[in-house]
């Protein structure tokens, strides 16, 4: 996936038509379910999402490796906005041996 995304930016290497076809690999990934994202966060951090965040929203961006969720954390008694990047299920072993 990543090689195709890179080659989409190199029409001088692969030709304009092929680069245009490869451009469909960029920024068009479907999100995965919120429940899977919650489970991944909990497995990674060892605590329930409800203990970590006061809010954990639906994904706002998705790519080939991960997706991003808006969330809120409580820091020093004040809620702060954060972005939580969650690696796609079954992708983690490839990036986190």
Q: How far apart are CA 7 and CA 41, in angstroms?
A: 32
pLDDT for residue 67: 93
To which residue do tokens 């020093």 refer? 76
Residue 6 token pair: 């890179």
What tens digit of pLDDT does each residue of 30-54 get?
899 999 999 999 999 999 999 999 9
Q: Which residue has the higher pLDDT, 49 or 10?
A: 49
pLDDT reported for residue 9: 79
Percentage of the residues of the chain whose pLDDT score is greater than 70: 82
| pTM score, whole prediction | 0.70
């Amino acid at each position: 996936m990543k090689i195709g995304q890179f080659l989409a930016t190199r029409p001088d290497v692969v030709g304009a038509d092929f680069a245009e076809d490869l451009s469909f690999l960029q920024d068009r990934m479907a999100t995965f379910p919120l429940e899977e994202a919650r489970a991944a966060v909990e497995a990674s951090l060892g605590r329930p999402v409800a203990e970590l965040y006061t809010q954990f929203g639906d994904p706002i961006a998705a790519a080939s490796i991960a997706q991003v969720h808006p969330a809120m954390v409580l820091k020093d008694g004040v809620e702060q906005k954060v972005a939580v990047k969650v690696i796609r299920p079954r992708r983690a072993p490839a990036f986190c041996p």
